[in-house]
């Protein structure tokens, strides 16, 4: 064989290898990694999903397990949204858009800031319009998320009412074994407090002076009687340190770990209420005025772990949620092909 012939064979082989390699890359991107509602999800599809995610919510993928979790979360989101769309169309659930805006205002208050003098920041009317449009999009996204959660809760309520889903004692025990470290009776603090209405500098100064006198051994009621001009009120209460009750957060920043005899405050409180019972036994919530609170701790109960029986109400939602989601996955024909997932090394940093 001549040199030219050898070179020709080698070139043909190189071209064949190159083409095979290129088509291999293309084929890998087209590999089906999941199915939902009869439609495939390829590697390329999921890669685009990851790229399009906001940086703050994009998952960190370093292992095959991370990739599987990210894919499962994506498919579950589609399932939850589809469920919500069906229930909204059937008028089974409803979330007002105002609620979505209110939730977003709490979570991301910065996007609702009004810019008084945009020219100071070299912002054009187009910039302001873009910000407004982006804010509306974010509210719509929050609305969909709230509808999705309400939709799953609707399915849970229906399943409980119709007894189509049950939880076994073994399932309770297994869930308790996983979560027992977070299942506790929260710490509780009992106190006698002095509430001075208002938030002026004079009120803050007066509250600081009351705290100093409490440290010196004065009784709260005596201090209130001695200072009628403050219009202060006595509060006797016992609170539990529940992180979900945000209105008590400022109180617990100082009160957590406090012992009987300790003085808490001054601390600004707002939105507190007092339970009041009328002659017919009806309980209503009477609001306290917002203001500065100082208080003397009269008792304390430490955080204690819950037993399995005590924890069952806490365990139920997770268990019912998981079971309902599994039913929704089946109804939407969700399948994942783990052996076709891409090399996790492609995602070893945030995209």
User: Do residue 227 and residue 321 come from a single domain?
Assistant: no
- Listed as ranges, residues in the chain with pLDDT below 50 are 1-25, 348-351
Residue 8 lies in a domain: no
Strand partners, 70: none
Residue 259 lies in a domain: yes
Q: What is the pTM of this model?
A: 0.69
4-16 b/e with 16+ CB inside 10 Å = b? eeeeeeeeeeeee
Q: Is the separation of the CB atoms in 292 and 123 below 8 Å?
A: no
pLDDT digits (tens, 9 = 90+) for 218-258: 999 999 999 999 999 999 999 999 888 888 999 999 999 99
- Which residues, including other chains, have CB under 8 Å from residue 253's CB and lie 6 or more apart? 267
User: Do residue 176 and residue 189 come from a single domain?
Assistant: no
User: Do residue 220 and residue 159 come from a single domain?
Assistant: no
**How far is residue 279 CA from its own chain's centroid?**
41
Q: Report pLDDT for 123.
A: 81
DSSP class per residue in 176-239: HHHHGGG-EEPPEEEEEEEEEE--SHHHHHHHHHHHHHHHTT--HHHHHHH-GGGT-EEEEEEE
Based on the structure, what is the number of domains in the chain?
A: 2
User: Do residue 322 and residue 173 come from a single domain?
Assistant: yes
Residue 19 lies in a domain: no
User: Do residue 63 and residue 144 come from a single domain?
Assistant: yes
- Of 115, 110, 111, 165, the C-alpha closest to 138 is 111
Q: Report pLDDT for 347.
A: 53
Residue 23 lies in a domain: no
User: Do residue 38 and residue 169 come from a single domain?
Assistant: yes
Residue 329 lies in a domain: yes
Residue 188 lies in a domain: yes
pLDDT digits (tens, 9 = 90+) for 301-346: 999 999 999 999 999 999 999 999 999 999 999 999 999 998 776 5
Q: Report pLDDT for 299.
A: 95
Domain housing 289: 184-305
Q: Report pLDDT for 20.
A: 45
Strand partners, 196: 292
- Of 271, 219, 224, the C-alpha closest to 250 is 271
User: Do residue 300 and residue 326 come from a single domain?
Assistant: no
User: Do residue 243 and residue 188 come from a single domain?
Assistant: yes
Phi/psi-derived region of residue 198, left when phi > 0, alpha when psi is between -120 and 50, beta in every other case = left
- Angle of helix 3-29 relative to helix 43-52, nearest 10 degrees? 60
User: Do residue 249 and residue 325 come from a single domain?
Assistant: no
Residue 9 lies in a domain: no
Q: Is the separation of the CB atoms in 348 and 61 below 8 Å?
A: yes
Residue 237 lies in a domain: yes
Q: What Rg value do the Cα atoms of the chain yield, rounded?
A: 30
Q: Is the separation of the CB atoms in 345 and 180 below 8 Å?
A: no
User: Do residue 163 and residue 61 come from a single domain?
Assistant: yes
CATH number at residue 69: 1.10.4030
User: Do residue 161 and residue 253 come from a single domain?
Assistant: no
User: Do residue 137 and residue 212 come from a single domain?
Assistant: no
């Amino acid at each position: 064989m001549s040199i030219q012939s050898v070179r020709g064979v080698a070139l043909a082989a190189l071209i064949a290898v190159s083409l095979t390699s290129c088509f291999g890359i293309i084929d890998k991107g087209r590999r089906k990694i999941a199915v939902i509602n009869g439609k495939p999800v390829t590697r390329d599809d999921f890669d685009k999903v990851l790229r399009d995610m906001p940086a703050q919510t994009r998952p960190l993928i370093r292992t095959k397990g991370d990739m599987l979790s990210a894919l499962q979360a994506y498919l579950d989101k589609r399932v939850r949204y589809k469920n919500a769309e069906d229930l909204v169309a059937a008028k089974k659930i409803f979330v007002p858009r105002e609620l979505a805006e209110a939730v977003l205002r709490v979570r991301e208050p910065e996007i609702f800031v009004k810019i008084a003098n945009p020219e100071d920041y070299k912002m054009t009317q187009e910039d302001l319009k873009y910000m407004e449009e982006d804010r509306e999009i974010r509210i719509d996204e929050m609305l969909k998320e709230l509808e999705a959660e309400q939709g799953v809760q609707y399915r849970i309520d229906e399943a409980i009412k119709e007894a189509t889903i049950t939880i076994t004692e073994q399932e309770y025990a297994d869930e308790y074994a996983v979560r027992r470290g977070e299942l506790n009776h929260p710490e509780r603090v009992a106190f006698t407090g002095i509430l001075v209405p208002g938030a002026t500098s004079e009120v803050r100064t007066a509250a600081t002076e009351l705290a100093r006198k409490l440290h010196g051994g004065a009784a709260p009621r005596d201090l209130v009687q001695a200072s009628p001009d403050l219009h202060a009120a006595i509060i006797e209460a016992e609170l539990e340190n529940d992180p979900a009750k945000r209105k008590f957060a400022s109180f617990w920043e100082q009160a957590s770990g406090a012992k009987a005899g300790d003085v808490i405050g001054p601390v600004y409180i707002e939105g507190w209420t007092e339970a009041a019972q009328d002659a017919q036994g009806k309980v209503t919530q009477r609001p306290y005025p917002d203001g500065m609170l100082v208080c003397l701790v009269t008792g304390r109960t430490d955080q204690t772990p819950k037993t399995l029986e005590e924890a069952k109400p806490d365990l139920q939602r997770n268990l019912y949620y998981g079971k309902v989601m599994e039913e929704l996955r089946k109804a939407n024909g969700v399948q994942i092909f783990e052996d076709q997932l891409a090399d996790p090394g492609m995602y070893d940093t945030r995209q």
